[in-house]
Structures are given as C-alpha cells and as structure tokens.
Structure 1
Amino acid sequence: MADIRITQAHKLPHKKAKAAAQKVADQIAEEYEMNAEWEGDVLKFKRSGVSGKLTVSDSEAHIEISLGFLFKAFAPTIEQKVAAKMKKVFGAKA
C-alpha cells in the first residue's frame, strides 16, 4: 500500500506528458538515488526503502510511493517535494 499518493492534472499532449514524467523521475532519481524504467505509460522506480510508480494518462499524472520503515518519518517532506515538482512540471503548461 502506498504511503504517498499525488495526482496532478495536465493538458499536455501524451508524448509531452511522458517527457514531463521522465523529468520528474530524473529529478527524484538524482535526489534520492533511484533507478527508474518505463513499462508502457507507467514509470516504475525503486531503491532500498522506497518504491513507486508514476502513471501518465491523457489528463493527469498519478504517483504512488511506498516507503520503508526508515523513510516513513520523512513522508510529509517527501510528499511536499514531489507534489511541488509535479505541479511545476505538469501544471506549468496546463
């Protein structure tokens, strides 16, 4: 079960929405040292203690993040940072 769930509406064409999702993933991967790979329209990411997926549809991007025990204390901070990144990347052109 995910500890963090964020949905961000967008009005981007599908290709640009996937590029935006990749940008969010790249930023998160760099900050939290994660690996990420696409499976269709779902970008799955993982590292020790953190896993999740970013799903892109025609009108929204939805991210779910599951945190291990040691990261649960940082859930509010992580959620705030990820929500801000998603709003910036997906909402900027919406």
Structure 2
Amino acid sequence: MPDIHIERSHTLGIEAARAVARQWMQKVERDYGLACSYDEGERRDVAQFTRPGIDGSVEVTADSFRLRATLGLLYASFSDQIEQRLQRNLDELLGTSEADDDAYNDKDWL
C-alpha cells in the first residue's frame, strides 16, 4: 500500500497551528468526504482522517505539521496526485504557496 508522508515546519505556535489544522479538517471533510477527529494534547495534537481507501493522521505541534496517510488499492495509482494535492492544500492554509488552478476535478479520486 502506498504511503504518503508530508512534513511542514512553521512558526505559528500551537494555538495558531491548531486553527490551521481545524481549517484543513473542515476542508477535507467538505471537499473529499473524509471523516475526521481531533485530539488536543499539551504539546502535540493529532487529527485522524479516514474514508474507504485512505486512512491517516496529522500531528500538530508548535513548530510542525506531520501528515501520514496510507492509500488502499483504489487510490494507489493516484498516490502522486493525491500527495501533491495534500501538500498544496496544507501549503495554502499555511500561506507558503501560490494557489494554482487545477485543469481537472480531483474530488473524483480523493
């Protein structure tokens, strides 16, 4: 099964990072139908996400985001595109990338 690992450093602090993580969760719940849960910790939070064919988590700290996802067979052939989309979504929320328009509707495969 293909695995996706994305890590981003930031200087937001834990409270602002939590806000970004919650925005990301709302976006993927709405746009991709992922079921999400969020557990706050003292120094580290963990957001879990799932739907048939994809399971993963985002670890949120005061200075980093670590996303890990495992794709099932249905999504395996799209792993590069899914990883790029997840990176782009996170970077947009962190304000570290320029938004670019997609020429296709990626909601069909994630």
Distance in 1 (alpha carbons) for counterparts of 2:77 and 2:31: 17
- Determine the structure 2 residue equivalent to 1:61: 65
Q: AA paired with 1:73? A: S
| Percent of residue pairs bearing the same amino acid type | 27
Q: Report the TM-score, using the length of structure 2 for normalisation.
A: 0.76
What displacement does 1:39 show?
2.1
Q: AA paired with 2:21? A: A
Q: How many residues align?
A: 92
- Determine the structure 2 residue equivalent to 1:84: 88
- Determine the structure 2 residue equivalent to 1:5: 5
Secondary structure (helix, strand or coil) at the match of 1:83 reads helix
Q: Does 1:42 align with 2:34?
A: no
What displacement does 1:74 show?
1.0
What displacement does 1:31 show?
2.2
Bigger RCO (CA 8 Å, 6+ sep): 1
Distance 1:74 1:2, change over 3 A: closer
Contact 2:2 2:76 in 1 (8 A): no
Please list the CA deviations of residues 20-76 of structure 1 after superposition, one character each: whole Å capped at 9, or x if unmatched: 011112212222201101123000011111110011011110100111100111111
Structure 1 regions of 5+ residues with no counterpart?
none
Structure 2 regions of 5+ residues with no counterpart?
97-110
Distance in 1 (alpha carbons) for counterparts of 2:90 and 2:31: 15
Once superposed, which parts of structure 1, at least 4 consecutive aligned residues long, lie more than 4 Å away? none
Q: Does 1:71 align with 2:75?
A: yes
